[in-house]
Structures are given as structure tokens and as C-alpha cells.
């Protein structure tokens, strides 16, 4: 697909500086630009690339003031990153969608598949399942009995949806993820033996949830593990049984949440965050990378760092002390020697 700078500016309600008729048919990072490519500049650290980029068009913030001549045509917008994301969505939506049911797919007679759906090769749809309109179920997806999948969902190759789980509308689950596997429930019988506790609940994903690749979300022991509307989970995340994640919360890769923890809405977790079980995490909580949470986070909009996590300001002050520990240890050793010498006198 090919667009002029004028057409792009019209779509984004932007202002053009340069040739409005220059055409682009591809996208590129600003540092890897080439003729016919569209790039964007949002982070000031990358500003020096705009003076050498070969991209034909660059999206910039309206507040951007160039320090030298820019060869590319500029489109000024309120937020260059958001504008670029809007264009990517437009391109993605323009791609042709697969439709129809592959001959090798297995759909049980009691299942119902909506109009405009795509069921790929070797996919399986279990008894009494309901697949909504315009869903895409890619090859080797497994959907267990009595599942309900809302309209416009995408299940990428190798996704496994265990029995009785529910997905709302517009959900996306990326390759290799497992929704509804058993929670880690075992009752000790002796020092060496454990009895498995049946996991009789399910998992509910509300509308517009996106799950990354190789994520495991455990079904509830009883009731439901619930991922609320608008949640976005990165790759390689573990969500334990009976966990509830509030609306529009986002989590980066390798985060782990133990069973029965309730996470509030609008939270942001960086990579490798670990949260103990049976906790409550307040709305708007922000957790830095590798933060360890052993207890409740009670105050909304808390920002915590470290393991065990503490307030980010206290953590930053503590890190200054930590860096000085070798020096402080040397000073302490010298003071001990001086004290012993004085004591001996």
C-alpha cells in the first residue's frame, strides 16, 4: 500500500512541513530509514538520527524544534508515538483476513461457529463450544468443551484453552499460551507425599484482553480466575489460580502472581515482578523490574522498587548507601582497629 504525506497528515490531523506529495510504502526505524519509508521521532535521545535519516516522511511532536536542516518531510502531530501506533493499526487492519474452516480441523457436532470465522488446520473445537463471529483460530489451537469465545477474538497457533473457560470480545491470545490449566493445588499427606486438589473453576478473560506468547493462566480451584477488561500481559507470565487482575493493568515479561491475589486496576508491572499469594494490590500501583511483593500494597498509585519492595524514593536513597558499602566497611574496620588500640592503652 502506498500513501502520500498529505493523506497521512489528513488521517492524523497533522501539519506538513515539506513535500505533501512524497509517497511512502513502508515503515522503518528512524535510524534505519530508507527512501519510501515512514518513521517517527518521539524520544529526544534519537533526535540526531532525524538529520541523517533516509526516510521520506517522519512523524514528530508539534513541539519539536530542529537544530539543523531536515531533509525528510515532517508531519507534526500532538503525540508522534501514538500517531505512529494509529498508522500501524490501520496497516494491520488492511491486511487480508483468512476465513473458512480447514478440512483437517475438528469441530464437534454440538459446537457453534459464528459467521466470518476462520478455523485453521488441525485445530480442535470441543463439545458445546461457542465461537463468536469473525474469530480467527489458527492451526493447532485446542479449545476444550463448553468454552465460550466472543466475537473478533484471535487465537494464534498452538494456543490451548481448557474446558469451560470464557473469552470476551476482541481478545487476542498469542502462540503457545495456555488458558485454564490446573492451579498448583496440593495438600500435604506426609513429609514426602502430596494429594492433588481438583481444580473445578475456570478462567474468564473480559473484553479486549491481550495475552502474550507462552503465558500460563491457571483455572480457579473454585469460582474463576478473572482477567478484567483491557488487561495486557506480556510473554512468559504466570498467573496463579483464583487471581483477579483489574481493568487496564499491564504486566511485562516473566512476572509471576501467586494464587488468590487481587491486583487492582490501572497497575503497571515491569519485568520479573514476583507477587506472593493471597495479597491485595491497590489501584494504580507501579512496580519496578524484579520487585518482590511479600505483603499487601494498600495505598493507590504506589511506586515500589526492590525485593522486598519499598517506596521508590526510599529505594533510591538506599541504593546510594548500598554503593558505598565497601567504603563504609573499610572505614568501620579502621575504626575498630583504632578503638582496640585505644582500649589496649
- Return left, alpha or beta for 254; rule: phi > 0 is left, psi -120 to 50 is alpha, else beta: left
Cα separation, 213 vs 131, whole angstroms: 21
Please, are residues 3 and 36 in contact by the beta-carbon 8 Å criterion? no
What confidence score (pLDDT) does residue 127 get?
98
Catalytic status, residue 241: yes
Cα separation, 38 vs 36, whole angstroms: 7
Cα separation, 149 vs 212, whole angstroms: 17
Cis, peptide link before residue 234, omega less than 30° from 0: no
What confidence score (pLDDT) does residue 256 get?
98
What confidence score (pLDDT) does residue 107 get?
98
What confidence score (pLDDT) does residue 95 get?
82
Catalytic pick among 140, 174, 241, 278: 241
Please, are residues 207 and 150 in contact by the beta-carbon 8 Å criterion? yes
Rounded to the nearest 5°, which phi and psi values hold at 304?
A: -125, 145
Give the SS3 label for residue 151. Answer: coil
Q: Hey, what CATH topology would domain 3-94 get?
A: 3.40.1390
Please provide the distance, in angstroms rounded to a whole number, between the alpha carbons at the two ends of the chain: 89
Would you give per-residue pLDDT tens digits along the chain (345 residues)?
Answer: 789 999 999 999 999 999 999 999 999 999 999 999 999 999 999 999 999 999 999 999 999 999 999 999 999 999 999 999 999 888 888 888 888 999 999 999 999 999 999 999 999 999 999 999 999 999 999 999 999 999 999 999 999 999 999 999 999 999 999 999 999 999 998 888 999 999 999 999 999 999 999 999 999 999 999 999 999 999 999 999 999 999 999 999 999 999 999 999 999 999 999 999 999 999 999 999 999 999 999 999 999 999 999 999 999 988 888 888 899 889 998 999 888 888 887
Q: Hey, what CATH topology would domain 100-314 get?
A: UDP N-Acetylglucosamine Acyltransferase; domain 1 (2.160.10)
Cα separation, 253 vs 1, whole angstroms: 33
Global pTM reads: 0.88
The structural domains of the chain, with segments of one domain joined by +, span 3-94, 100-314
What confidence score (pLDDT) does residue 97 get?
86
Q: In 3D, which of 87, 91, 90, 55 has the Cα closest to residue 73?
A: 55
Decide whether 3-94 matches 100-314 in CATH topology: no
Distances in Å between the Cα of 207 and the Cα atoms of 170, 176, 222, 243 are 6, 20, 22, 17
DSSP code of 8? H
What confidence score (pLDDT) does residue 94 get?
80
Please, are residues 42 and 63 in contact by the beta-carbon 8 Å criterion? no
Amino acid at each position: 500500500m502506498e500513501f502520500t504525506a498529505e493523506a497521512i497528515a489528513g488521517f492524523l490531523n497533522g501539519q506538513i512541513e515539506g513535500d505533501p506529495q512524497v509517497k511512502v510504502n513502508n515503515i522503518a526505524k528512524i535510524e534505519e530509514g530508507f527512501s519510501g519509508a515512514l518513521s517517527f521521532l518521539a524520544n529526544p535521545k534519537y533526535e540526531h538520527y532525524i538529520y541523517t535519516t533516509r526516510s521520506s516522511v517522519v512523524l514528530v511532536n508539534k513541539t519539536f524544534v530542529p537544530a539543523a536542516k531536515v531533509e525528510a518531510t515532517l508531519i507534526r502531530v500532538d503525540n508522534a508515538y501514538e500517531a505512529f501506533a494509529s498508522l500501524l493499526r490501520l496497516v494491520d487492519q488492511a491486511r487480508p483476513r483468512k476465513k473458512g474452516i480447514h478440512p483437517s480441523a475438528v469441530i464437534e457436532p454440538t459446537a457453534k461457529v459464528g459467521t466470518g470465522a476462520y478455523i485453521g488446520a488441525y485445530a480442535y473445537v470441543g463439545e458445546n463450544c461457542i465461537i463468536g463471529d469473525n474469530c480467527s483460530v489458527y492451526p493447532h489451537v485446542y479449545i476444550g468443551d463448553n468454552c465460550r469465545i466472543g466475537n473478533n477474538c484471535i487465537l494464534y497457533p498452538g494456543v490451548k484453552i481448557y474446558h469451560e473457560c470464557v473469552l470476551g470480545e476482541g481478545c487476542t491470545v498469542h502462540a503457545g499460551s495456555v488458558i485454564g490449566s490446573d492451579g498448583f493445588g496440593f495438600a500435604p499427606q506426609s513429609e514426602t507425599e502430596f494429594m492433588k486438589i481438583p481444580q473445578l473453576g475456570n478462567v474468564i478473560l473480559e473484553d479486549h484482553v491481550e495475552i502474550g506468547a507462552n503465558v500460563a493462566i491457571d483455572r480457579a480451584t473454585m469460582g474463576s480466575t478473572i482477567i478484567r477488561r483491557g488487561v495486557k500481559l506480556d510473554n512468559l507470565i504466570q498467573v496463579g489460580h483464583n487471581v483477579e487482575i483489574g481493568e487496564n493493568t499491564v504486566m511485562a515479561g516473566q512476572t509471576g502472581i501467586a494464587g488468590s491475589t487481587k491486583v487492582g486496576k490501572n497497575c503497571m508491572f515491569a519485568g520479573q515482578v514476583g507477587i506472593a499469594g493471597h495479597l491485595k494490590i491497590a489501584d494504580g500501583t507501579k512496580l519496578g523490574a524484579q520487585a518482590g511483593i511479600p505483603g499487601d500494597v494498600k495505598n493507590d498509585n504506589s511506586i515500589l522498587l526492590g525485593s522486598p519492595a519499598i517506596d521508590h524514593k526510599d529505594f533510591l536513597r538506599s541504593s546510594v548507601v548500598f554503593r558505598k558499602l565497601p567504603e563504609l566497611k573499610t572505614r568501620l574496620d579502621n575504626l575498630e582497629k583504632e578503638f582496640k588500640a585505644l582500649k589496649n592503652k
